[in-house]
Amino acid sequence: MKNVIVVGAGAAGLMAAYAAAKNGNAVTVLERNEKAGKKIYITGKGRCNVTNNVPPEEFFENVVRNAKFLKKSIYSFSPERLMKLLEEGGLPLKTERGNRVFPASEHASDVTKCLQRYCSEAGVRFAFNERVESIEKTPDAGFRVRTEKGNCSADAVIICTGGLSYPGTGSTGDGYTFAKKFGLKIVPCRASLCGIECDMRMLSQLQGLSLRNVRISAYRQSRLVASHFGEMLFTHYGISGPIVLSLSAAINDFPVKELNLQIDLKPALETEILDKRLLRDFEKFKNKQMQNALVELLPKNLIVPVLRLANIPSDLMANSLTKQQRKSLCAAIKNFALRPTSLRPISEAVVTAGGVDVAQLDPKTMECKSVPGLYLCGEVLDVDALTGGFNLHIAFATGYAAGSSIS
Protein backbone atom coordinates (compact mmCIF):
# COMPACT_ATOMS: atom_id res chain seq x y z
CA MET A 1 0.00 0.00 0.00
CA LYS A 2 1.23 3.47 -0.90
CA ASN A 3 0.39 6.83 0.59
CA VAL A 4 -1.01 8.87 -2.32
CA ILE A 5 -1.84 12.57 -2.36
CA VAL A 6 -4.10 13.94 -5.09
CA VAL A 7 -3.90 17.71 -5.58
CA GLY A 8 -7.27 18.96 -6.79
CA ALA A 9 -10.78 17.53 -6.51
CA GLY A 10 -12.04 18.21 -10.01
CA ALA A 11 -12.96 15.62 -12.62
CA ALA A 12 -9.42 14.28 -13.01
CA GLY A 13 -8.71 14.41 -9.29
CA LEU A 14 -11.86 12.59 -8.21
CA MET A 15 -11.33 9.84 -10.76
CA ALA A 16 -7.63 9.51 -9.91
CA ALA A 17 -8.41 9.32 -6.19
CA TYR A 18 -11.05 6.64 -6.69
CA ALA A 19 -8.84 4.53 -8.97
CA ALA A 20 -5.83 4.77 -6.63
CA ALA A 21 -7.90 3.91 -3.53
CA LYS A 22 -9.60 1.02 -5.34
CA ASN A 23 -6.10 -0.41 -5.83
CA GLY A 24 -5.61 -0.53 -2.07
CA ASN A 25 -3.70 2.71 -1.55
CA ALA A 26 -4.22 5.26 1.23
CA VAL A 27 -5.43 8.33 -0.67
CA THR A 28 -5.83 11.92 0.48
CA VAL A 29 -7.27 14.64 -1.75
CA LEU A 30 -6.16 18.19 -1.04
CA GLU A 31 -8.59 20.77 -2.47
CA ARG A 32 -8.22 24.54 -2.20
CA ASN A 33 -11.99 25.11 -2.54
CA GLU A 34 -14.71 24.41 0.01
CA LYS A 35 -16.10 21.52 -2.03
CA ALA A 36 -15.23 19.08 -4.81
CA GLY A 37 -15.97 19.46 -8.50
CA LYS A 38 -16.39 23.21 -8.61
CA LYS A 39 -15.72 23.35 -12.36
CA ILE A 40 -17.92 20.30 -12.95
CA TYR A 41 -20.83 22.34 -11.57
CA ILE A 42 -20.62 24.86 -14.41
CA THR A 43 -19.97 22.50 -17.34
CA GLY A 44 -22.72 22.05 -19.89
CA LYS A 45 -24.45 25.16 -18.52
CA GLY A 46 -24.91 23.42 -15.19
CA ARG A 47 -26.04 20.12 -16.74
CA CYS A 48 -22.54 18.60 -17.11
CA ASN A 49 -21.77 17.05 -20.49
CA VAL A 50 -19.81 14.16 -18.97
CA THR A 51 -18.62 12.53 -22.19
CA ASN A 52 -19.45 11.84 -25.82
CA ASN A 53 -20.98 8.46 -26.63
CA VAL A 54 -18.70 7.49 -29.52
CA PRO A 55 -16.07 4.76 -29.94
CA PRO A 56 -12.43 5.78 -29.33
CA GLU A 57 -11.69 6.03 -33.07
CA GLU A 58 -14.27 8.81 -33.44
CA PHE A 59 -13.25 10.35 -30.14
CA PHE A 60 -9.72 11.03 -31.42
CA GLU A 61 -11.12 12.89 -34.44
CA ASN A 62 -12.30 15.55 -31.99
CA VAL A 63 -8.99 15.93 -30.15
CA VAL A 64 -7.20 19.08 -31.28
CA ARG A 65 -3.78 18.49 -29.74
CA ASN A 66 -1.81 15.36 -28.87
CA ALA A 67 -4.42 12.76 -29.75
CA LYS A 68 -1.70 10.13 -30.10
CA PHE A 69 -0.65 10.63 -26.48
CA LEU A 70 -4.23 9.99 -25.32
CA LYS A 71 -4.76 6.73 -27.21
CA LYS A 72 -3.77 4.39 -24.40
CA SER A 73 -5.80 6.16 -21.73
CA ILE A 74 -8.91 6.57 -23.90
CA TYR A 75 -8.86 2.98 -25.11
CA SER A 76 -8.42 1.81 -21.50
CA PHE A 77 -11.15 4.07 -20.17
CA SER A 78 -13.51 4.68 -23.07
CA PRO A 79 -16.75 6.71 -23.02
CA GLU A 80 -18.64 3.41 -22.80
CA ARG A 81 -16.69 2.38 -19.72
CA LEU A 82 -17.17 5.76 -18.03
CA MET A 83 -20.91 5.64 -18.69
CA LYS A 84 -21.14 2.16 -17.22
CA LEU A 85 -19.22 3.24 -14.11
CA LEU A 86 -21.47 6.24 -13.51
CA GLU A 87 -24.70 4.34 -14.06
CA GLU A 88 -23.56 1.52 -11.77
CA GLY A 89 -22.88 4.24 -9.21
CA GLY A 90 -26.53 5.30 -9.29
CA LEU A 91 -26.33 8.05 -11.90
CA PRO A 92 -28.75 7.49 -14.83
CA LEU A 93 -27.49 9.06 -18.06
CA LYS A 94 -29.02 10.19 -21.33
CA THR A 95 -27.52 10.80 -24.76
CA GLU A 96 -28.59 13.89 -26.70
CA ARG A 97 -27.87 15.49 -30.08
CA GLY A 98 -24.28 15.08 -31.19
CA ASN A 99 -23.87 12.03 -28.90
CA ARG A 100 -23.47 14.34 -25.92
CA VAL A 101 -24.03 12.50 -22.63
CA PHE A 102 -25.67 14.18 -19.62
CA PRO A 103 -27.02 13.00 -16.26
CA ALA A 104 -30.72 12.23 -16.67
CA SER A 105 -31.43 14.59 -13.78
CA GLU A 106 -29.74 17.42 -15.71
CA HIS A 107 -27.91 18.41 -12.52
CA ALA A 108 -24.12 18.62 -12.70
CA SER A 109 -23.97 18.24 -8.94
CA ASP A 110 -25.17 14.64 -9.29
CA VAL A 111 -22.01 13.77 -11.23
CA THR A 112 -19.83 15.09 -8.42
CA LYS A 113 -21.92 13.31 -5.79
CA CYS A 114 -21.60 10.01 -7.67
CA LEU A 115 -17.82 10.30 -7.90
CA GLN A 116 -17.53 11.32 -4.26
CA ARG A 117 -19.59 8.29 -3.25
CA TYR A 118 -17.19 6.05 -5.13
CA CYS A 119 -14.27 7.77 -3.40
CA SER A 120 -15.80 7.50 0.05
CA GLU A 121 -16.59 3.81 -0.40
CA ALA A 122 -12.97 3.23 -1.45
CA GLY A 123 -11.67 5.04 1.65
CA VAL A 124 -10.51 8.34 0.15
CA ARG A 125 -9.97 11.16 2.64
CA PHE A 126 -10.79 14.73 1.60
CA ALA A 127 -9.21 17.91 2.98
CA PHE A 128 -11.06 20.98 1.74
CA ASN A 129 -9.99 24.63 2.02
CA GLU A 130 -6.40 23.42 1.93
CA ARG A 131 -4.34 24.90 -0.88
CA VAL A 132 -1.07 23.22 -1.77
CA GLU A 133 1.82 25.68 -1.77
CA SER A 134 4.72 23.45 -2.81
CA ILE A 135 5.66 19.87 -3.67
CA GLU A 136 9.20 18.60 -3.14
CA LYS A 137 11.04 15.34 -3.67
CA THR A 138 12.54 13.88 -0.48
CA PRO A 139 15.81 11.92 -0.09
CA ASP A 140 13.88 8.69 0.47
CA ALA A 141 12.30 9.01 -3.00
CA GLY A 142 9.00 10.20 -1.53
CA PHE A 143 7.40 13.64 -1.56
CA ARG A 144 6.82 16.45 0.92
CA VAL A 145 3.66 18.43 0.22
CA ARG A 146 3.35 21.76 1.98
CA THR A 147 -0.09 23.34 2.36
CA GLU A 148 -1.36 26.46 4.06
CA LYS A 149 -2.02 24.30 7.11
CA GLY A 150 1.19 22.30 7.36
CA ASN A 151 3.27 19.54 5.76
CA CYS A 152 2.37 16.01 4.72
CA SER A 153 4.32 13.20 3.09
CA ALA A 154 3.47 10.86 0.24
CA ASP A 155 4.89 8.03 -1.82
CA ALA A 156 3.14 9.37 -4.91
CA VAL A 157 1.54 12.69 -5.89
CA ILE A 158 -1.07 13.18 -8.61
CA ILE A 159 -1.41 16.78 -9.80
CA CYS A 160 -4.94 17.55 -11.06
CA THR A 161 -5.11 21.31 -10.64
CA GLY A 162 -6.68 22.26 -13.98
CA GLY A 163 -5.53 24.97 -16.35
CA LEU A 164 -6.16 28.74 -16.42
CA SER A 165 -9.78 28.87 -17.60
CA TYR A 166 -12.48 29.91 -15.13
CA PRO A 167 -10.05 30.87 -12.33
CA GLY A 168 -13.01 31.35 -10.00
CA THR A 169 -13.22 27.56 -9.80
CA GLY A 170 -9.64 27.37 -8.52
CA SER A 171 -7.85 26.88 -11.84
CA THR A 172 -5.16 29.52 -11.43
CA GLY A 173 -2.13 27.73 -12.87
CA ASP A 174 -0.76 26.17 -9.67
CA GLY A 175 -0.02 22.93 -11.51
CA TYR A 176 2.30 24.70 -13.93
CA THR A 177 4.24 26.18 -11.02
CA PHE A 178 4.68 22.74 -9.44
CA ALA A 179 5.72 21.23 -12.78
CA LYS A 180 8.31 23.93 -13.43
CA LYS A 181 9.88 23.30 -10.02
CA PHE A 182 10.54 19.74 -11.17
CA GLY A 183 12.12 21.02 -14.37
CA LEU A 184 9.23 20.12 -16.66
CA LYS A 185 8.62 22.00 -19.90
CA ILE A 186 5.39 23.98 -20.19
CA VAL A 187 3.87 24.64 -23.61
CA PRO A 188 2.61 28.28 -23.60
CA CYS A 189 -1.03 28.45 -22.55
CA ARG A 190 -3.71 29.90 -24.82
CA ALA A 191 -7.47 30.20 -24.73
CA SER A 192 -9.41 27.43 -26.46
CA LEU A 193 -13.14 27.08 -27.08
CA CYS A 194 -13.80 30.78 -26.61
CA GLY A 195 -15.35 33.73 -28.39
CA ILE A 196 -13.46 35.73 -31.02
CA GLU A 197 -13.19 39.51 -30.82
CA CYS A 198 -13.74 41.31 -34.12
CA ASP A 199 -13.71 44.84 -35.49
CA MET A 200 -17.37 45.64 -34.90
CA ARG A 201 -17.39 49.31 -35.92
CA MET A 202 -19.56 48.59 -38.95
CA LEU A 203 -21.45 45.69 -37.37
CA SER A 204 -22.79 47.06 -34.08
CA GLN A 205 -26.40 46.40 -35.12
CA LEU A 206 -25.70 42.67 -35.26
CA GLN A 207 -25.25 42.26 -31.51
CA GLY A 208 -27.54 39.48 -30.28
CA LEU A 209 -28.19 38.06 -33.75
CA SER A 210 -28.04 34.25 -33.87
CA LEU A 211 -27.41 32.41 -37.13
CA ARG A 212 -28.11 28.77 -37.90
CA ASN A 213 -26.82 26.51 -40.65
CA VAL A 214 -23.97 28.81 -41.63
CA ARG A 215 -20.32 28.03 -42.30
CA ILE A 216 -17.46 30.05 -40.84
CA SER A 217 -13.95 29.70 -42.24
CA ALA A 218 -10.58 31.13 -41.23
CA TYR A 219 -7.90 31.95 -43.80
CA ARG A 220 -4.28 32.99 -43.45
CA GLN A 221 -2.68 34.42 -46.56
CA SER A 222 -5.46 32.85 -48.65
CA ARG A 223 -4.82 29.41 -47.14
CA LEU A 224 -7.74 27.74 -45.36
CA VAL A 225 -6.91 27.14 -41.69
CA ALA A 226 -10.22 25.70 -40.47
CA SER A 227 -13.92 25.65 -41.30
CA HIS A 228 -17.01 24.72 -39.24
CA PHE A 229 -20.74 24.45 -39.98
CA GLY A 230 -23.57 25.08 -37.54
CA GLU A 231 -24.75 27.85 -35.21
CA MET A 232 -23.10 31.11 -34.17
CA LEU A 233 -23.92 34.34 -32.39
CA PHE A 234 -22.92 38.00 -32.77
CA THR A 235 -22.00 39.62 -29.44
CA HIS A 236 -20.91 43.03 -28.18
CA TYR A 237 -17.26 42.07 -28.74
CA GLY A 238 -17.51 39.96 -31.89
CA ILE A 239 -18.74 36.40 -32.36
CA SER A 240 -19.42 33.31 -30.26
CA GLY A 241 -21.53 30.16 -30.39
CA PRO A 242 -20.73 26.49 -31.09
CA ILE A 243 -18.91 26.81 -34.42
CA VAL A 244 -16.95 29.84 -33.23
CA LEU A 245 -15.77 27.99 -30.14
CA SER A 246 -14.60 25.12 -32.34
CA LEU A 247 -12.88 27.55 -34.69
CA SER A 248 -11.02 29.18 -31.80
CA ALA A 249 -9.39 25.84 -30.97
CA ALA A 250 -7.97 25.67 -34.48
CA ILE A 251 -6.68 29.24 -34.75
CA ASN A 252 -5.15 29.86 -31.31
CA ASP A 253 -1.70 28.86 -32.59
CA PHE A 254 -1.77 31.73 -35.11
CA PRO A 255 -1.49 35.51 -34.74
CA VAL A 256 -5.23 36.15 -34.85
CA LYS A 257 -4.89 39.57 -36.50
CA GLU A 258 -3.25 37.90 -39.50
CA LEU A 259 -6.37 35.84 -40.17
CA ASN A 260 -9.44 36.58 -42.24
CA LEU A 261 -12.82 35.18 -41.25
CA GLN A 262 -15.58 34.55 -43.77
CA ILE A 263 -19.15 33.46 -43.12
CA ASP A 264 -21.07 31.64 -45.82
CA LEU A 265 -24.59 32.74 -44.95
CA LYS A 266 -26.14 30.28 -47.42
CA PRO A 267 -23.81 27.25 -47.59
CA ALA A 268 -26.58 25.03 -48.97
CA LEU A 269 -26.82 27.20 -52.11
CA GLU A 270 -24.14 27.22 -54.77
CA THR A 271 -23.47 30.68 -56.20
CA GLU A 272 -25.42 29.96 -59.40
CA ILE A 273 -28.44 28.73 -57.44
CA LEU A 274 -28.22 31.71 -55.09
CA ASP A 275 -28.19 34.07 -58.05
CA LYS A 276 -31.39 32.51 -59.39
CA ARG A 277 -32.96 32.86 -55.96
CA LEU A 278 -32.04 36.55 -55.91
CA LEU A 279 -33.60 37.06 -59.34
CA ARG A 280 -36.87 35.58 -58.09
CA ASP A 281 -36.85 37.74 -54.97
CA PHE A 282 -36.08 40.91 -56.93
CA GLU A 283 -38.89 40.18 -59.37
CA LYS A 284 -41.24 39.76 -56.41
CA PHE A 285 -39.99 42.93 -54.68
CA LYS A 286 -39.05 44.92 -57.80
CA ASN A 287 -40.70 48.08 -56.53
CA LYS A 288 -39.03 47.99 -53.12
CA GLN A 289 -35.70 49.30 -51.93
CA MET A 290 -32.90 46.77 -51.58
CA GLN A 291 -33.05 46.90 -47.77
CA ASN A 292 -36.60 45.55 -48.05
CA ALA A 293 -36.07 43.20 -50.99
CA LEU A 294 -34.00 40.64 -49.06
CA VAL A 295 -36.34 40.04 -46.14
CA GLU A 296 -37.14 36.48 -47.20
CA LEU A 297 -33.49 35.55 -47.66
CA LEU A 298 -31.62 37.15 -44.77
CA PRO A 299 -32.31 38.18 -41.15
CA LYS A 300 -33.44 41.82 -41.07
CA ASN A 301 -30.45 43.07 -39.05
CA LEU A 302 -28.04 41.45 -41.48
CA ILE A 303 -29.38 43.00 -44.71
CA VAL A 304 -27.74 46.44 -44.47
CA PRO A 305 -24.29 45.07 -43.46
CA VAL A 306 -24.43 42.64 -46.42
CA LEU A 307 -25.41 45.44 -48.80
CA ARG A 308 -22.64 47.61 -47.41
CA LEU A 309 -20.10 44.83 -48.00
CA ALA A 310 -21.39 44.47 -51.57
CA ASN A 311 -21.16 48.27 -52.01
CA ILE A 312 -24.86 48.52 -52.86
CA PRO A 313 -26.93 51.48 -51.56
CA SER A 314 -29.62 50.20 -49.22
CA ASP A 315 -32.17 52.59 -50.77
CA LEU A 316 -31.52 51.40 -54.32
CA MET A 317 -34.65 50.07 -55.98
CA ALA A 318 -34.52 46.32 -56.61
CA ASN A 319 -35.45 46.75 -60.25
CA SER A 320 -32.42 49.01 -60.74
CA LEU A 321 -29.84 46.43 -59.61
CA THR A 322 -27.28 45.62 -62.30
CA LYS A 323 -25.91 42.18 -63.10
CA GLN A 324 -22.52 43.17 -61.69
CA GLN A 325 -24.11 44.43 -58.46
CA ARG A 326 -26.02 41.16 -58.16
CA LYS A 327 -22.71 39.30 -58.55
CA SER A 328 -21.22 41.41 -55.76
CA LEU A 329 -24.24 40.68 -53.59
CA CYS A 330 -23.83 36.92 -54.10
CA ALA A 331 -20.17 37.23 -53.12
CA ALA A 332 -21.07 39.17 -49.96
CA ILE A 333 -23.63 36.54 -48.93
CA LYS A 334 -21.27 33.64 -49.58
CA ASN A 335 -18.24 35.41 -48.09
CA PHE A 336 -19.42 37.77 -45.36
CA ALA A 337 -16.09 39.05 -44.10
CA LEU A 338 -15.07 39.72 -40.50
CA ARG A 339 -11.81 41.12 -39.21
CA PRO A 340 -10.71 39.29 -36.03
CA THR A 341 -8.62 41.19 -33.50
CA SER A 342 -8.06 38.63 -30.72
CA LEU A 343 -9.47 35.68 -28.85
CA ARG A 344 -11.41 36.33 -25.66
CA PRO A 345 -9.34 36.13 -22.43
CA ILE A 346 -8.22 32.69 -21.31
CA SER A 347 -10.17 33.21 -18.07
CA GLU A 348 -13.37 32.98 -20.17
CA ALA A 349 -12.28 29.99 -22.25
CA VAL A 350 -13.96 26.61 -21.81
CA VAL A 351 -10.54 24.94 -21.68
CA THR A 352 -6.86 25.82 -21.69
CA ALA A 353 -4.69 24.92 -24.67
CA GLY A 354 -1.06 24.33 -23.77
CA GLY A 355 0.31 23.11 -20.46
CA VAL A 356 2.71 20.39 -19.38
CA ASP A 357 4.47 18.93 -22.42
CA VAL A 358 3.13 15.39 -22.70
CA ALA A 359 6.40 14.08 -24.16
CA GLN A 360 7.65 14.09 -20.56
CA LEU A 361 4.97 11.62 -19.39
CA ASP A 362 4.25 7.93 -19.81
CA PRO A 363 1.02 7.92 -21.87
CA LYS A 364 -0.17 4.73 -20.19
CA THR A 365 0.21 5.92 -16.59
CA MET A 366 0.58 9.75 -16.72
CA GLU A 367 3.74 9.35 -14.61
CA CYS A 368 6.54 11.83 -15.13
CA LYS A 369 9.50 10.05 -16.75
CA SER A 370 12.11 12.13 -14.91
CA VAL A 371 10.36 12.18 -11.50
CA PRO A 372 9.10 8.70 -10.51
CA GLY A 373 5.98 8.88 -8.37
CA LEU A 374 4.83 12.22 -9.82
CA TYR A 375 1.71 12.09 -12.02
CA LEU A 376 -0.09 14.85 -13.93
CA CYS A 377 -3.65 14.61 -15.30
CA GLY A 378 -6.46 16.56 -16.91
CA GLU A 379 -6.36 20.15 -18.11
CA VAL A 380 -2.89 20.79 -16.68
CA LEU A 381 -1.60 18.78 -19.67
CA ASP A 382 -1.09 20.06 -23.21
CA VAL A 383 -4.16 18.24 -24.53
CA ASP A 384 -7.49 19.70 -25.58
CA ALA A 385 -10.46 18.83 -27.76
CA LEU A 386 -13.60 20.26 -29.32
CA THR A 387 -16.88 20.78 -27.46
CA GLY A 388 -19.22 17.89 -26.77
CA GLY A 389 -17.92 16.26 -23.58
CA PHE A 390 -14.51 15.33 -25.00
CA ASN A 391 -12.45 17.55 -22.69
CA LEU A 392 -14.19 16.34 -19.55
CA HIS A 393 -13.72 12.74 -20.63
CA ILE A 394 -10.00 13.40 -21.15
CA ALA A 395 -9.86 14.53 -17.52
CA PHE A 396 -11.64 11.37 -16.36
CA ALA A 397 -9.52 9.05 -18.52
CA THR A 398 -6.13 10.53 -17.63
CA GLY A 399 -7.10 10.61 -13.95
CA TYR A 400 -8.14 6.96 -14.09
CA ALA A 401 -4.90 6.05 -15.87
CA ALA A 402 -2.80 7.64 -13.14
CA GLY A 403 -4.75 6.32 -10.16
CA SER A 404 -5.09 2.77 -11.44
CA SER A 405 -1.36 2.50 -12.19
CA ILE A 406 -0.36 3.04 -8.54
CA SER A 407 -0.33 -0.23 -6.62
Cβ–Cβ contacts within 10 Å for residue 22, how many?
A: 18
Q: Does the predicted TM-score (pTM) go above 0.85?
A: yes
Res. 261 pLDDT band, cuts 50 70 90: very high
Cβ–Cβ contacts within 10 Å for residue 120, how many?
A: 13
Decide: helix, strand or coil at residue 369: coil
The residues with which 7 forms a beta bridge, in sequence order, are 30, 159
Q: What does the pLDDT look like over 231-257, one tens digit per residue?
A: 999 999 999 999 999 999 999 999 999
Q: State yes or no: pLDDT of 202 exceeds 80.
A: no
What pLDDT, on a 0 to 100 scale, did the predictor assign at position 72?
98
Q: What ranges make up the beta strands (E) of 24-149?
A: 26-30, 51-52, 63-65, 93-96, 100-103, 125-127, 132-137, 143-147
Helices (H), 252-299: 271-284, 290-293
Q: State yes or no: pLDDT of 146 exceeds 80.
A: yes
Q: What does the pLDDT look like over 53-82, one tens digit per residue?
A: 999 999 999 999 999 999 999 999 999 999
Q: State yes or no: pLDDT of 201 exceeds 90.
A: no
What pLDDT, on a 0 to 100 scale, did the predictor assign at position 45?
87
Q: Which CATH superfamily is domain 3-191+351-405 in?
A: FAD/NAD(P)-binding domain (3.50.50.60)
What pLDDT, on a 0 to 100 scale, did the predictor assign at position 200?
86
Residues of the chain with CATH 3.50.50.60: 3-191+351-405
Q: What's the CA gap between 217 and 228, in Å, rounded? A: 7
